[in-house]
Structure 1
Amino acid sequence: MPPPRTRGTALRHRLAELRGPDVPAKALDARALAALAANPGCRRRAILDGAGVDKARLAGALGSPSGFGQSQFAFMRGNAFEARVKADGGAELLRLARERLDAGAEPPAAASVPDLSASGPQGRAARTALALREATEAGGWTLLDHPMLALEVAGSPAFLEPDAVVVHPDGRWTVVEIKSFPMLDGAADPAKVGAAARQAAVYVLALEEVAARLDPPARVGHRVLLVCPKDFSNLPAASAVDVRKQRAVTRRQLDRLTRIEEIADSLPEGVCFAPDLPAERLTSAVESVPATYTPECLSACELAFHCRDRSRADGAVTSLGRSVRAELGGLTTVGDVLAAARGEHGDPEDPAVAALRRAARLRAEALEGRSGAVEGAGRSGAVEGAGRSGAVEGAAVCR
């Protein structure tokens, strides 16, 4: 008699059923994790990402295709720039790392670039951990090109691949992010830098898990190296970005995520998200998992257009944004909000209800005052017009 399946094996089997027969899993990356952590209350995204569902294909099958994806030109430009930065054994990249993060260290004259190839993501993650330990013990500069890191997310491992990790002579580890947006006069677009910092914070968390397993534990730098093209050229420029805030926020949000097995256990039997299913069945499957839509999802999730349409159809106040939702307390629909403002719904002692009614009164008074002003202006214009007519008539009589 075969031994019973372990909990992890049962979960993987269940997630494969949700994904669909013979549908390969789509691996989570740091960008998806940063977006997932930004909206931890969305059970729909948690289960879809945990099961490895291709949300872009799913959105297309639902009739709400997303506009996600990098243009081919941007992709090729980014790859060409990264290759330039890492040329000659990463000499320029290591020079920038020393210049921005470790000016007192010895120059990276003979840096090590270990081979990280292995079979599968688990094998590559193990090979990366071994290379990090060997580099830390050996001292000197080491460049890990596209290492593989593992991070547990909602009870399931996610494999992440940063652009590079630098090991300093003192044993410190630094995450490197290489982006193709320009750095003009030493500064880049703050919004793009912020997105890169959130993505790098995920890598820092994963690297910390590897560092904690060493004896003694290795140190992971809280500043990451952001490398971008200088001005409008293809020459690299770098900046040290402190990601302590982003790391703390991401850690807290990931810890708050509902465990994937809890969501999977709550779904009806037969639910499947395979994109080749009939649209009606696929829609029913997606709607069986609660979603928490906010306008920020439009820049972070492939299913945002579908969820936005459903949120608007239901009149959910979350479609107005997190700040508005937070101010409205227990009022969860636009209909409830309007009824509370008219005095037809809600507890008058509720601060949100009281604020809505006060705002409704102020609006009514403002509109009434405006109507009175318009009416008064109309009467004044009529009198003025009558005066002008009388003057014209008098002038005609005088002639």
Structure 2
Amino acid sequence: MRHRLAELRGPDTPPRPLDARALAALAANPGCSRRALLDGAGVDKGRIADALGAPATFGQSQFALTRGNAFEARVKADGGAELLRLVHARVDSAAPEPVPGLVRTPDLSAIGPEGRTARTALALREAVGSAAESGTWTFLDHPMVALDVAGSPAFLEPDAVVVHPDGSWTVVEIKSFPMIDGAADAAKVGAAARQSAVYVLALERIAERTPGARVRDRIVLVCPKDFTNLPAASAVDVRKQCSVTRRQLTRLTRIEHIAAALPPGTVFDPEQPSKELTAAVESVPAAYAPECLAACELAFHCRDRSRAAGAVTSLGRPLRAELGGLTTVDAVLAAAHGEAGDPEDPTVAALRRAAALRAEALGGARC
């Protein structure tokens, strides 16, 4: 299967890693076979979008990345002393305070993502054993964990994982957006929670094989305090996000099934002629929704195609759900004007009633 995915990327094209942010976005739209296949194959969707003439416009600026890296380095300085203090205060104040110099900070370096994943799992098991023997805290800086996504492994890298003296594990997510008066932007916190839920699910796979281990269902979100560069933290319950992500990931069609349905010779190489690349992308079904604009590099291309086809999904998932079997704008208008549709259908009846009210308000004008 890996050989087949490498063929889809194009000759000598290295795979693009699937990170937790992309995985959370994929789980939010499990019906999109296009994203599942391209992400699973490690295709660079940004380059594909550029080649198709519909480049993505989201993402962090270089300034924001630099500021975020500097803030993370500050939080993790001195062996993670400040980070551990925040974790202790927010989620485990009953435990003994972490003492600088006595906190374990295992080396997680290894060759390749598979090696780093194995090294992380070993370090977590050793940390649980150390906690059982002496009640020691352990700080894991940028561990690597793996999660199966539609039959293909995704290697993920949390900012940090802390092992408590009781052997439990807490995911720590460090963000550069501010926490003002103890609260951060709700939308950004929600995105961080969905991203962290992916890490929690991956860690649960390791905890299942580690006696005495458990993953806490509250993560610690660390952000700059007010308008300073000082760290502040909040505990965020991610049980709902974990449940939703777990359910959505199980709905994803296995990547090999999607790949098997492709025309022979299909390749997603951005260097190939535009006509061939467009045909390759269009050979995989997509499930566009406006929410994709903030999460997928191919969103503008898919939006153009959705609008050209008159699909109601381009107007949003809530509206699509309300319209039932009416999948195009033309079908909706025809039903509203009495030109098509079953009058006994509640959706059709509601549309005709709305059209009549609109015509009455506008003096008989049609939609």
Q: TM-score range by the shorter chain?
A: over 0.9
- Aligned residue in 2 for 1:231: 226
Match of 1:143 among 134, 139, 143: 139
Match of 1:181 among 173, 177, 181: 177
What residue identity is the alignment partner of 1:68? Answer: F
1:314-362 per-position Cα deviation (integer Å, ceiling 9, x unaligned): 0000000000000000001000000000111111111111110111111
- Aligned residue in 1 for 2:112: 120
CA distance 1:369–1:47, change in 2 (3 Å): closer
- Aligned residue in 2 for 1:385: none
- Aligned residue in 2 for 1:45: 35
- Aligned residue in 1 for 2:256: 261
Match of 2:125 among 125, 130, 133: 133
What residue identity is the alignment partner of 2:32? Answer: C
Does residue 16 (structure 1) correspond to residue 12 (structure 2)? The answer is: no
What is the CA-CA distance between 1:265 and the residue it aligns to?
A: 0.4
Structure 2 residues without counterparts, runs of 5 or longer: none
- Aligned residue in 2 for 1:373: none
Counterparts of 2:351 and 2:176 in 1: how far apart (Å)? 47
Tell me which structure has the larger Cα radius of gyration: 1
- Aligned residue in 1 for 2:240: 245
Does residue 317 (structure 1) correspond to residue 307 (structure 2)? The answer is: no
Counterparts of 2:7 and 2:296 in 1: how far apart (Å)? 22
Counterparts of 1:76 and 1:112 in 2: how far apart (Å)? 28
The structure in which a higher percent of residues are helix is 1
What residue identity is the alignment partner of 1:152? Answer: D
- Aligned residue in 2 for 1:7: none
The percentage of aligned residue pairs carrying the same residue is 77
- Aligned residue in 2 for 1:195: 191
What is the CA-CA distance between 1:368 and the residue it aligns to?
A: 2.1
1:224-249 per-position Cα deviation (integer Å, ceiling 9, x unaligned): 00000000111000000000000000
- Aligned residue in 2 for 1:160: 156
1:249-277 per-position Cα deviation (integer Å, ceiling 9, x unaligned): 00000010011011000000011101100
Is the CA contact (8 Å cut-off) linking 2:175 and 2:221 kept in structure 1?
Answer: yes
1:378-393 map, 5 Å: none
What is the CA-CA distance between 1:68 and the residue it aligns to?
A: 2.9
What is the CA-CA distance between 1:67 and the residue it aligns to?
A: 1.1
Does residue 271 (structure 1) correspond to residue 266 (structure 2)? The answer is: yes
What residue identity is the alignment partner of 1:144? Answer: L
What is the CA-CA distance between 1:369 and the residue it aligns to?
A: 8.3
1:20-31 map, 5 Å: 20-31=10-21
Q: What is the root-mean-square deviation in Å for CA atoms of aligned residues?
A: 0.9
Counterparts of 1:92 and 1:51 in 2: how far apart (Å)? 39
What residue identity is the alignment partner of 2:239? Answer: R
- Aligned residue in 2 for 1:67: 57
Give the SS at the match of 2:277. Answer: helix
- Aligned residue in 2 for 1:220: 215
Give the SS at the match of 2:285. Answer: coil
Question: Which consecutive segments of 4 or more residues in structure 1 shift more than 2 A?
Answer: none
Counterparts of 2:147 and 2:8 in 1: how far apart (Å)? 22
Give the SS at the match of 2:214. Answer: coil
